[in-house]
Structure 1
């Protein structure tokens, strides 16, 4: 800028610069224009240039509280969850008419004559899961909830004609849990906490009986169409059996060696498709389980469901048996 710049303009620029000391980007811009700007710039033009520059360089805070996939599901459920004629899904509801195994668990039934050798490696699996809210108003924090949940899984030997197509295994899982959102928004996402206790058993008598009780916590994270759940648990101890035929005591004391102490679930929605992964691992025994799932649109409310899994604990009777399974069928509800 020309050294012959008029004194009133010089004074005005200096005044603007010093009154903006609390806004360093604006101050630096004013001083830069004073030293290097064109001669014909007016005070108004310099002010406009520097204000625009300051706005562009102003750091922006990440957006928070944008509803993600978990929030959207909860919001939709709460519109009807107190309706007496509506059952609210909990976990997935599906049927896999064709569910294959590379190694069906015959060893668990070794003492049942004629049964293990006639088991088929292809069977049918289905899951029914729903939950019931126990509160209508918030309990401890806004939008929290207390629920009773129940999940039934069944493995049906529909292709085993020689043994009258029995249900090979059925698992029952009642639970009580509390759900609450958290005021924590890492990476611009949302979080929530679930705490609960659950019982899981197969309802069988000695020899085939499997069960355990757990207390657990979920840490939930969502961002847009991505959701993640980390679910660590603690198994409640039971008394040892005095003998194999003792109806009292622990049916499967080593179950945690195979089922681990946590479960990781990730879900991603893309257009009308939902991709999921469920994994468990016991790092001390190096035993675990992994499952990949895909749901896709068919017609109406019905969705296709394909899944592949590998490892231990696909059912309670199989908690210490490793196998690879593949299934395809129909889902009535997704994970999200």
Structure 2
């Protein structure tokens, strides 16, 4: 497996992704090696490598996008009993924004060749931009810092390259009671990819908190115990899907997305979500949402 293949686990948005330092391959007898067409994951690895030393470039972690218009079939009013002025005037149409970056914490090997340690940060916001009666507030913003380690392998499963990782993350909405929501998780990651397809699974365990500090003790019942993600590229169009589930409660969440080129680096983005926990304030609220907008970066 070449160096690009060894780094493939660093590449998905819906996943804890990172970018390893790619080693230079030697050229025996000064003969130009035969060029191999890069897979979808390898192309992102190479593009990130090309800009990793540029101080004016931020490396994306998960997907970055702006959805100026989304519509839900069930806006969550129940959680905002403490803000009746908001509760009564919420609109089922709002904007949704996600920004996500990552920073390498090592540039050499730590425990294994080509392994890597990363810090990532993701922020998601739901903006009531169409609610003029309440001055268009940000209904909810979630903050997700994480620390994760990834290491390459030489394994292949059914012709697909395999990689793994491990991480820890905190997620909260930065609010005081009664709107405060937060939890901490430790997770494992398994990642498979080949050509224009990729698949990952990320099981986790919640890190327990004191009962007095836990503002959502049943969050796992709705947010699930694992996340599975898939990606596929057909020509210049990319399709993505994410599923979360708790097999005990049979509650979960589905996100589907497609991006397509529109102008230079900008891509159109259509997103559909269904289920519990699109945001932390909605962790125990089920809804369907459709959104359309711009992808600044693809997840892979």
TM-score by length of 2: 0.86
Matched, 1:130 2:101: yes
Matched, 1:69 2:45: no
Offset of residue 67 of structure 1: 5.3
Matched, 1:313 2:284: no
- SS at the partner of 2:217? coil
Give the match for residue 118 of structure 1.
Answer: 89
Matched, 1:179 2:147: no
Higher helix share: 1
Whose relative contact order is higher, 1 or 2, with alpha carbons under 8 Å and at least 6 apart? 2
- For residues 16-31 of structure 1, what are the structure 2 equivalents within 5 Å? none
* Pick aligned residue for 2:287 from 302, 323, 329: 323
Q: What's the CA shift string for 1:100-130, capped at 9, x where partnerless?
A: 1000000000121221110000000000000
- SS at the partner of 1:175? strand
- SS at the partner of 1:114? helix
Give the match for residue 57 of structure 2.
Answer: 86
Conserved 8 A contact 1:68-1:190: no
Alpha-carbon distance in structure 2 between the residues aligned to 1:141 and 1:67 = 24
What value does the CA root-mean-square deviation take over the aligned residues?
A: 1.3
- For residues 68-217 of structure 1, what are the structure 2 equivalents within 5 Å? 68-217=39-188
Higher strand share: 2
Alpha-carbon distance in structure 1 between the residues aligned to 2:42 and 2:187 = 21
Offset of residue 189 of structure 1: 1.4
Give the match for residue 274 of structure 1.
Answer: 238
Conserved 8 A contact 1:81-1:132: no
Alpha-carbon distance in structure 2 between the residues aligned to 1:66 and 1:282 = 39
Conserved 8 A contact 1:298-1:304: yes
- SS at the partner of 1:120? coil
Give the match for residue 228 of structure 1.
Answer: 199
Give the match for residue 293 of structure 1.
Answer: 257
Alpha-carbon distance in structure 2 between the residues aligned to 1:259 and 1:101 = 19
- SS at the partner of 2:99? strand
Alpha-carbon distance in structure 2 between the residues aligned to 1:180 and 1:81 = 19
Conserved 8 A contact 1:268-1:274: yes
Unmatched 5+ residue regions in structure 2? Answer: 1-35
**Which has the higher Rg, Structure 1 or Structure 2?**
1
Conserved 8 A contact 1:311-1:324: yes
Alpha-carbon distance in structure 2 between the residues aligned to 1:114 and 1:190 = 53
Offset of residue 159 of structure 1: 0.3
Q: What's the CA shift string for 1:128-181, capped at 9, x where partnerless?
A: 000011111122223221111000000000000000000000000000111222
Offset of residue 198 of structure 1: 0.5
Runs of 4+ residues over 6 Å off in structure 1: none
Matched, 1:334 2:295: no
- SS at the partner of 2:274? strand
How many residue pairs match? The answer is 265
Unmatched 5+ residue regions in structure 1? Answer: 1-64, 242-248
